[in-house]
C-alpha cells in the first residue's frame, strides 16, 4: 500500500478484510501513529466493526446508504491496545 507522506485525510475501503491478524495489528499501529503525529483524519470502511472498534473514535453504521446509528469508539481511557473482556 502506498500512502502519501503527509495526507490530511486517508480513506481506507474494506479495512482488514485481506490481511491476517499480525498485519492488521501492525497497520493499526501505523494508522494510530499517523493520526497522532500528523493529525491525519482516517475514514475506514469495513464489512464488520470488529477491527474498527480497536482504534476508531467514532463508529457510523450505514443501512442501505443511510446512517442507522452512531456509536462512540475507543476512548483514550481504554489504553492503546487493551483487549476488551
Domains defined along the chain, listed by start: 9-76 (3.40.50.300)
Please give the share of the chain, as a percent, with pLDDT higher than 70. 82
pLDDT, mean over the chain: 85
Q: Alpha carbon of 59 to those of 18, 44, 63, 75, 78: distances in Å?
A: 21, 10, 13, 12, 16
Four-point Cα dihedral 49, 25, 1, 14, nearest 10: -10
For residues 41 and 50, give the distance between their C-alpha atoms in angstroms, rounded to a whole number: 20
How confident is the model over 29-57, as pLDDT tens digits? 999 999 999 999 999 999 999 999 999 99
Q: Sorting pLDDT into bands at 50, 70 and 90, what band is 73?
A: confident
Q: How much is the pLDDT for 4? A: 62
Amino acid at each position: 500500500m502506498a500512502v502519501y507522506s503527509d495526507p490530511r485525510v486517508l480513506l481506507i475501503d474494506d479495512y482488514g478484510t485481506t490481511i491476517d491478524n499480525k498485519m492488521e495489528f501492525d497497520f493499526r499501529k501505523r494508522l494510530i501513529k499517523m493520526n497522532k503525529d500528523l493529525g491525519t483524519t482516517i475514514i475506514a470502511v469495513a464489512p464488520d466493526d470488529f477491527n474498527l472498534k480497536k482504534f476508531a473514535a467514532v463508529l457510523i453504521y450505514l443501512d442501505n446508504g443511510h446512517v442507522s446509528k452512531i456509536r462512540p469508539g475507543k476512548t483514550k481511557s481504554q489504553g492503546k491496545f487493551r483487549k476488551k473482556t
